[in-house]
Chain A
Amino acid sequence: MLARSCLRSTRAFASLRNGAVHVSKRAASSSSSGSAADSPLRLNIAAAAATAVAAGSVAWYYHLYGPTADASTPAEEGLHPTKYPWVHEQWFKTFDHQALRRGFQVYREVCASCHSLSRVPYRSLVGSVLTVDEAKAMAEENEYDTEPNDQGDIEKRPGKLSDYLPAPYQNDEAARFANNGALPPDLSLIVKARHGGCDYIFSLLTGYPEEPPAGAQVGAGLNFNPYFPGTGIAMARVLYDGLVDYEDGTPATTSQMAKDVTEFLNWAAEPEMDDRKRMGMKVLAVTTVMFAMSVWIKRYKWAWLKSRKIVYDPPKTNNTPPRR
């Protein structure tokens, strides 16, 4: 390679001396195409065509898939809930357990007459919502079936901590029958089961307007709620100012109750959240320690390499200048 470029440059010098400029140009050019008729258009035609195809394919894609097609009207879709700044949704925040207490009170006094919470046992309330004694007392208020006795009869016994919260209805059919054919869903996982989670539940509970907007069609036995898809919901507004008496003296406004019960339902759906976040913190803490250790270990392992010194000790020479 070196030899060739040397050759070339000598040839260029030679042709310069001869005055043949075009020869020197040819020699200096690295292009391999030999024809002198190359116009800029010919040279760039492939790139230009590729660009045109690229632009065309993007345009075609947007022609096919660009505009979104909505299968439903905004009313059928429902109003998307506003994002509220829930404290417990922040990365390093836990549930506000005072709020959980209030929320459980709202569930018990208001929602429990229609909605079950069948995945929550009394024992899980202990320590996060109630004290042991409170939970025991509350469990004992309900009756549960015993195991069959010696005669095979099933008797009733008061509830224990290991029992689950009782459902308001025997079965779904009874629940539908009591609610005009609409089934009040189980609330254990409702926060996870709906788009918008907490924001949706809070908005749904507080979003009943005084009257539906002009012209809106509200089906028989339904109530207008903008957040419910279709806007007609079988559950009427249930929360009104001052409905419950909070034991901690918090003013029981509609939005306060809705906020508390929503946070409680979030806890019911995600009781492991506090622990999960603590676990996350542990992982971060351990990782930072390990990282710090790895930095020190790296310094230790590389020390010999980083601290070595390369010395070039040129041999003694006579002082003749290098040949050109």
Chain B
Amino acid sequence: MGFWDTITDLVDAATPWATADAEAPAKELPEETTTEATKEEESTEAETAAAEEEPAAEEEPAAEEEEEEEEEEEEEPVDPKETLEEECRNSKQCSPAKHHFDECVERVTNAEAEGGAKEDCVEEFFHLAHCATQCAAPKLWSVLK
């Protein structure tokens, strides 16, 4: 892989008329007699793919690495949405909503124990969920692929 190949690959990746093929790239060279040209073409393709992926990976290296390490430790992946939203629910931003919800749950469970509650906590739940998802949304998208 020469220096000029790298340059042409970058140009190829950036040019708008570069095409994506529906065919899978040929896996193996069929024969030994294949010309130099095909070999070069293939390495070009591979390099283009790599070049395209690089900028995406650079965006959040820290977060991704942490995620991957976690995944290696345990088999079952942990949903970042749950943890992020839990953090958000307990954050200062959502404390009024959480306060109202907790209070409602306590009131309703007490009323139910005494035989029949006249209300539910759906609305309070909505406000809390709205706050938590809103707060977690950008963080979640930076973690997900």
Which of A131, A214, A216, A250 is in CB contact (< 8 Å) with B109?
A: A214
Q: Which of B10-32 contact A (CB under 8 A)?
A: 20, 22-24
Say how far B132's CB is from chain A's closest CB, in angstroms.
9
Any A CB within 8 A of the CB of B5 = no
Is B120 within 8 A of A83, CB to CB? no
Any B CB within 8 A of the CB of A82 = yes
Say how far A29's CB is from chain B's closest CB, in angstroms.
65
Of B77, B122, B130, B141, most A-chain CB atoms within 10 Å: B122
Provide the residues of chain A in CB contact with B79, threshold 8 Å.
Answer: 241, 253-255
Chain B 110-144, CB within 8 Å of chain A: the 1/0 string? 00100001011111111001100110011011001
Is B22 within 8 A of A74, CB to CB? no
Q: How many residues of A contact B (CB 8 A)?
A: 39
Which of A134, A203, A256 is in CB contact (< 8 Å) with B145?
A: A256
Is B80 within 8 A of A132, CB to CB? no
Is B129 within 8 A of A226, CB to CB? yes
Is B76 within 8 A of A214, CB to CB? no
Provide the residues of chain A in CB contact with B133, threshold 8 Å.
Answer: 81-82, 203
Provide the residues of chain A in CB contact with B138, threshold 8 Å.
Answer: 85
Any B CB within 8 A of the CB of A252 = yes
Given A84-B141, A131-B24, A79 contacting B129 (CB threshold 8 A): yes
Which of B23, B112, B140 is in CB contact (< 8 Å) with A132?
A: B23
Q: Could you tell me the distance between the alpha carbons of A126 and B23 in the complex, rounded to whole angstroms?
A: 9
Any B CB within 8 A of the CB of A80 = yes
Provide the residues of chain B in CB contact with A250, threshold 8 Å.
Answer: 145
Nearest B-chain residue to A80, judged by Cβ: B130
Given A214-B109, A241-B79, A250-B145, A127 contacting B22 (CB threshold 8 A): yes
Provide the residues of chain A in CB contact with B117, threshold 8 Å.
Answer: 214-215
Some 27 contacts from A to B, beta carbons below 8 A apart, are A75-B123, A79-B130, A82-B133, A83-B137, A84-B137, A84-B140, A85-B138, A131-B24, A213-B101, A213-B120, A214-B108, A215-B112, A215-B119, A215-B120, A216-B122, A216-B125, A217-B120, A226-B126, A231-B122, A242-B75, A242-B76, A242-B77, A251-B67, A253-B79, A253-B144, A255-B80, A255-B144
